[in-house]
Structures are given as structure tokens and as C-alpha cells.
Structure 1
Amino acid sequence: MFFRETKETEQDIHRIFNQIREKMKQRITLKKKSDPGKFVVPCLVKGIEFPCALCITGSSVSILPNVMAYHLDLKIEPSEDSFTFVDHSTRNSGGFIRDLEVQSGNALVPVDFDVLENKQNKNHFLLLGRAFMAILGAVCNMQTNQLCITLINPDVYFDLVRIVKPQTSNTRLNT
């Protein structure tokens, strides 16, 4: 027997192995799905409405544009952090804001934000990371494409916003 100091006999090991092999034969193939979209929630920061604050399930940080931070006259602490994005570009943090109250529904949520310069000139955006969603008890159901903030109202669901990809033109070369 090749297993030392085990309670299972060799017959037990063969039986377990055969059970697992049978289960593997019964595997199912699930259907491929496209990107369902993104979760957005309405919220309020110091009286300014953010009707489509993006909940980023893959991010540990929340981000506020520097223009909005200056407009709200927020205390920005220096930060040495830098961010690397999907396109491999890197940007340095413009600072850090601690415990900024974000109102979502009837709840006030203290959120730590990294401040970033927004080169696309979209000043009215808010990116909310996993910490924000954890505080609210957010449940993302990717099968039904809904987000529920259980600690505010477990009966209210936010639907996904579809991602609109830029259209590429099909051009033919006349040869």
C-alpha cells in the first residue's frame, strides 16, 4: 500500500477513487454568457447626486475624481499609492480622503476614497469598491443580473446597466 499511516484500507481508497471518477463522468457543461453589464447605484455625497455610482466588484478601492474633491472642498491627505489599469497605464494617487459620508438610500456610509485625476473630463462619476458593498451587505446575483443592498432594503433590486461597446466599422478594400 502506498499510503502510510492512514485509516483507509486499500479497498477504501480504490472505492473512493472510483466514486470520484464516476462523478467526473457526470459533469455538466454550462452555457457561455457574455458580460452582463455593470452594477450602478444612486447615491449622494455632500448634497451632490451621483445617479449612477459604479460598484466595482473587482476593486478594493473607491475612487473620487480630483475635480469633485476640490469642488466639495474636502481634506485630501497625501498618498504614495499608484494604480495600474487594465491597459497597463499607471497613475499616481492625487491623495486620500478618509470617512467621506456617502448616502445610499436612507443609510450614511463612511467611505475611504483615493483621489485620481480624470483625464476624460467626466467629473460626475464615483467608483465604489468592495468595502462599500460589504458595509451595505450588497449581494450581486450574476445569474439574474441584479444587485440587492440587503442592509438598506432586502426587497429592492438594482438591475445591471448594459455595457455599450464602441462599434467598429467593417471596411472593405477594393483591390
Structure 2
Amino acid sequence: MLFKKLLEKLGDPGKFLIPCDFLGMDVCHALADLRASINLMPLSIWKKLSLPELTPTRMTLELADQSITRPKGVTEDIFVKVRKFHFPTDFVVVGFEADPRVPIILGRSFLRIGCALIDVYRE
């Protein structure tokens, strides 16, 4: 069956920004990445927020550029405020420079905790 009008091709909703609040940060937009299985936080942000002690980990990470890195540690149950809601979130802390526009990456685990419904048809 042919349509008289072609359907519009939509972009990949694989990544989007979530405005969130942390004590000690003026403005924070986290990058929500549907392909990421973990939540990442740079060491500089962890220090700036004065978060609890890191738990050592033996984990290794393969990054998008296919390089391998070892995290500095894991921090658990950090509350991420999105609008009026607070979500307890575990972060893997890595020794990278933070992107000032989007210093934190939130993966599928965060979206699952928040029971996120993602409308892939709207921008």
C-alpha cells in the first residue's frame, strides 16, 4: 500500500537533556542517554558537591570512542532533583573533565527509577 503523502522521518531520540538540581550547583542539565546502562559523574563534580565517600570498584568501562577506562569509584543513593521529585541514584565516578553544559550522564537505570515515559514522536 502506498501513501499519498510520505511520512516525515523523525530523528533518533537516543539522547536528551533533563534539567536537575544539586546543592552547590547553580544550573545543571544532565544528558539522558538511552544507550548508557550506568549513570556517570566526573570526579570534579563529585568533589564540588561534597558527596559521600567513594566505594572502590574493579569495574572497567568501554566508552563510546571504544577506549577503556577505570572509574575512581561508585557513590550510591545520591538524590537527583528533577522538578519537585527526588530520585535516589547511584553514580560511577570517572576521572574526566566535566562538560560545563552537561556535566552528568544519566542512563537507563535512572530513567527506570523515575518511571520515565519517553514520547518519541514529540520534540
User: Considering the TM-score relative to the shorter chain, is it more than 0.5?
Assistant: yes
Question: Aligned with 2:93: secondary structure?
Answer: strand
Structure 2, unpaired ranges of 5+? none
Distance in 1 (alpha carbons) for counterparts of 2:106 and 2:71: 16
Answer 1 or 2: which has greater helix percent.
1
Superposition RMSD in Å = 2.5
Distance in 1 (alpha carbons) for counterparts of 2:34 and 2:69: 21
- Report if aligned partners of 2:55, 2:75 keep a CA contact under 8 Å in 1: yes
The question of 1:64 aligning with 2:41 is answered yes
Distance in 1 (alpha carbons) for counterparts of 2:44 and 2:83: 25
- Report if aligned partners of 1:43, 1:49 keep a CA contact under 8 Å in 2: no
- Counterpart of 1:71, as a letter, is K
The question of 1:87 aligning with 2:88 is answered no
1:79 positional shift: 1.0
Distance in 2 (alpha carbons) for counterparts of 1:71 and 1:91: 22
Distance in 2 (alpha carbons) for counterparts of 1:50 and 1:90: 30
Q: TM-score, normalised by structure 2?
A: 0.80
Alignment of 1:13-52 (within 5 A): 32-35=9-12, 38-52=15-29
Going from structure 1 to structure 2, the CA distance change for 1:27 and 1:78 (only over 3 Å counts) comes to farther
- The higher radius of gyration belongs to 1
Question: Aligned with 2:117: secondary structure?
Answer: strand
Structure 1, unpaired ranges of 5+? 1-25, 146-175
Going from structure 1 to structure 2, the CA distance change for 1:104 and 1:33 (only over 3 Å counts) comes to closer
- Report if aligned partners of 1:50, 1:125 keep a CA contact under 8 Å in 2: no
Identity of aligned residues (%): 27
Question: Aligned with 2:64: secondary structure?
Answer: coil
Give the length in aligned residue pairs: 119
Q: TM-score, normalised by structure 1?
A: 0.59
The question of 1:73 aligning with 2:50 is answered yes
1:104 positional shift: 0.8
1:142 positional shift: 1.7
Q: Which has the higher contact order (CA 8 A, sep 6+)?
A: 2
- Report if aligned partners of 1:45, 1:102 keep a CA contact under 8 Å in 2: yes
